[in-house]
Chain A
């Protein structure tokens, strides 16, 4: 206890020293970065899960054709879910001779579980929860126009008359599905019952939705699996909104990557500040030893001192982290329309853990040097213990960083590979820096005056320059990396969603009206996908055996084995598909009798473990058709165009009952014109996916903003590294500067020499950073983010430029007082340190 108090006191005195301040600051930044990013990630990812949940209607949604048992509801509630039930069906609404097929949806008092329901009533737009009053309905404005019904008007629904109490402005759980094609009517369960529409044979679906805390869905997964076997359709956020799921996943990965970059940078700063701290304490330790202090005692003293430091940095850093994320969220409040839950306690623990790990990993090996100080140093100044080898520091720091990496990414293999690659990269950087410095030393003879001096000083202080170059290049690389990945990530997203990406699907186009319909569509839009025939068939055999016996165990319950698949036929390969194995159909492939060639999507082939030559038998309208896989296609499922698991050649399926499907882009000013087409082709159904696209767009811009903010933070951490590094190397530069002034160098000369040195340092570090980023992104894209690998020429100009500006600027600022001070003052200050 006494030791702890003594340590606190000495730490307090020590806080006057620049290195302890730098150490303290770096630790605060590290803790603040991890906690802030931790808190923020925690909230935003939870919030995003909620938003995805909003589209779905809940975190978990159960659908079946009969009312749910009370037991199911209870089970869900016991799992910590708030529940809501809906009954959906399609029925005719009529008023004064006008008829419109409409989708009815009953909602209960807990509706909506996510998001807000906005209804336009006589009182203006209001947000509602729960159902309208009995006998009243909220309807789509579209239905109002069709029935010529305004607020307060009544129309016939089944056996009852209902009154329009409001128009639906925004309905949170907009689903894509056939039922959504028709205008919506929201009503209470009681109203539906009085309409008396539910008879045997009526197509009614019942939905049970649950909203729970994160992790709640995983907790009931076994039960959900058992439901799947009872022909209940189970949807959850993770599995049933693939696009949002992937976006979420990618964003999480990316944000934690950015978080790690901040941690790494702060770690580098800690390592650099520690070096100076240790050097400054060598004499103190020598004196302590001289006075008879045992190794154990002063080791304990330093441990306590650093323990205090870690504690204070944790508290301050965590507080800053909290404020940071609050500031961030309020900054983004307008853009972040997510309802964010409060952050959990985990990020806090992560922050404290980071502080301790940081000290152990990045400062530890250097601190060990203090143990080896000889008491003789008091008498003989030069008796310093050898500096710890950089290899040792890097090794321990990497292990700690690897552990943090694992903690953040929860991906052991990834952590391992990042570590291995990181090691290789560091060795590479160390070697490259040596080569660059040697080159600079040679080249320096070509310069004159201060330029030559600056270059030579940098080249001559090989070890310390190498250390700084590696640190700066890692810093610059981290910033470059995150900027680049962000840009590429967004580019990729935006590239995948061209401005005229289809926003409407037209299905159920009858063969007889196909030509007229496409003509009508082409008058509306210039962007339309091909028209695909659609035949429905179920897989009944694979290689003449029951499919469940052939496919891998985990695919046995796959819905694609149970339900009917959408099949099509085509002469040419669809433009969003690529054949990866086998050959696309020969021109008359479908001509013969018996087994016909078919083309399989890679995704399904992988899931069912199918390869070229396997046969599949489909039950199409009661007849069996057998095909042999002759090609496997990679399909761009995110193209928003009709995509098919199985494609037949022409002349096979034409005899079966079929319709056609197409996707097209409808400009917003052509919505009314589409109404004419709708009237002209009453049997064709339209599916508006623009809503989903807008949602995805909105989410992307939110993600982009979050990323930008974290990038700023990583940049700030990078600047902290520069400060720590320059502060750590300050005594060396002060010494040189003072001596040069004694030898007669003028301040202008020193200024230029300093400037030249920092510009060289920044520029060379930038070159190294460019190497690192180019290699790193290539690896990252190829193995992790699943983006195309590309070269970035701008990087090779930008990073050295940024390096020169940043390091040069900071170096100049930090060197100012050195140049102003009389040289003897500098020299005597050095003596005292």
Chain B
């Protein structure tokens, strides 16, 4: 299923956009596109609007940083963009597929092998070795040489000698490297990183960030980083700030 859109915006606006495709050919291909996306959460009797009619276009190979204060809803936005959570309104197109039309399984199918994730708290399975952790997403694909591929990726992130270590035998930086290898092992089109350096000290965080960006460049992967770390954000090609449920251009002070 493929759709085309008339107005592809390079930047984000506060104005509402035309929802219906108007028939024009797209100026730039898009890998992810949010149109009027909103998310309300119920908190007791109050309804809280976390994401409010948000629009976003991401081009293939893009490197986008989404900044925001604590509690601004960055992680909620990331979940929505990755199709891990259901929006309350609006539409999200991932690889040109409208996610509102897909159920949980449809969204999962879309992610399989195409989307990688790097989490703030690594999310490695404690009982699996580094190699087994990296192999996990490959298990969902028909790939043949799963072990060899996982090994290659661990070597690329500098952990070739840590294949059989369990997560608790690895330092925080090493664990995040394993997580990065796991995110890239399926050679996805899109990688989401949620505060990838948030749990690491400055030095380690810096080297993990460098690894992430270099892989983004080398693989031509689209990278969306959610962070409150301006240093990290600065290394991306493009930065946006999430405030009051919408994305605004980042004013670098």
Contacts and interface: CB of A to CB of B under 8 A. Distances in A.
A461 interface: yes
Interface in B88-130: 104-105, 108-115, 117, 119, 121, 123, 125-129
B86 interface: yes
Interface in A805-833: 822-824, 827, 831
A824 B84 contact: yes
Interface in B133-163: 136-137, 139-140
17 contacts: A382-B167, A460-B129, A463-B127, A464-B127, A741-B108, A742-B117, A743-B140, A744-B111, A744-B115, A744-B140, A745-B112, A746-B105, A747-B104, A747-B108, A824-B79, A824-B85, A827-B119
* Chain A CB within 10 Å, residue with most, of B104, B108, B126, B129: B108
B127 A462 contact: yes
A452 B127 contact: no
B62 interface: no
Given A460-B132, A824-B84, A746 B109 contact: yes
Interface stretch (A258-266, A643-651, A732-740): A732-740
A737 to B, nearest CB: 11
A461 B104 contact: no
A50 interface: no
Contacts, number: 76
Given A460-B132, A732-B127, A745 B108 contact: yes
B234 interface: no
B19 interface: no
Given A744-B109, A823-B84, A827-B123, A382 B168 contact: yes
* Chain A CB within 10 Å, residue with most, of B104, B113, B139: B139
A742 B85 CA distance: 10
Contacts of B168: 382, 384
Contact of A744 (B85, B114, B126): B114
B123 A739 contact: yes
A157 interface: no
A85 B105 CA distance: 85
B94 to A, nearest CB: 11
Contact of B125 (A382, A739, A741, A744): A739
Nearest to A741: B108
Contacts of A384: 168
A688 to B, nearest CB: 70
Interface string A448-471: 000011001000111110000000
Interface in A692-749: 732, 735-736, 739-749
Given A744-B112, A745-B108, A453 B84 contact: no
A389 to B, nearest CB: 16
A740 B123 contact: no
Given A742-B117, A822-B86, A460 B128 contact: yes
A746 B115 CA distance: 14
Given A743-B111, A744-B114, A749 B140 contact: yes
A828 B5 CA distance: 35
Interface residues of B, number: 33
Contacts of A736: 125
Contact of B140 (A382, A740, A824): A740
Nearest to A463: B127
A685 to B, nearest CB: 78
Interface of A: 381-382, 384, 452-453, 456, 460-464, 732, 735-736, 739-749, 822-824, 827, 831
B191 to A, nearest CB: 12
B139 A744 contact: no
Contacts of A827: 119, 123
A461 B167 CA distance: 13
Given A735-B123, A745-B112, 10 more contacts: A460-B129, A463-B127, A732-B127, A740-B140, A742-B117, A743-B112, A743-B136, A744-B115, A747-B108, A749-B140
A822 B85 contact: yes
B70 to A, nearest CB: 15
B244 to A, nearest CB: 22
A742 B111 contact: yes
A460 B127 CA distance: 7
A713 B51 CA distance: 54
B16 to A, nearest CB: 28
A381 B124 CA distance: 13
B125 A735 contact: yes
Contacts of B108: 741, 744-747
A745 B140 contact: yes
B32 to A, nearest CB: 15
Nearest to A743: B137
Contact of B105 (A456, A743, A748): A748
Contacts of B82: 742
Contacts of B85: 822, 824
A739 B84 CA distance: 11
B159 to A, nearest CB: 17
Contacts of A742: 82, 84, 111, 117
Contacts of B128: 460-461
Given A452-B139, A460-B132, A823-B84, A744 B113 contact: yes
B110 A744 contact: yes
A739 B117 CA distance: 10
A464 B126 CA distance: 11
A822 B112 contact: no
B139 A453 contact: yes
Contacts of A452: 139
B115 to A, nearest CB: 7
A560 B69 CA distance: 100
A338 B84 CA distance: 65
Contacts of A747: 104-105, 108
Contacts of A749: 140
Nearest to A747: B105
A741 B115 CA distance: 11
A453 B121 CA distance: 24
A732 to B, nearest CB: 7
A749 B140 CA distance: 9
Contacts of A732: 125-127
A743 B127 contact: no
Contacts of A744: 108-115, 137, 140
Contacts of A748: 105
Contacts of B137: 743-744
Contacts of A831: 121
B140 A461 contact: no
Contact of B127 (A461, A823, A824): A461
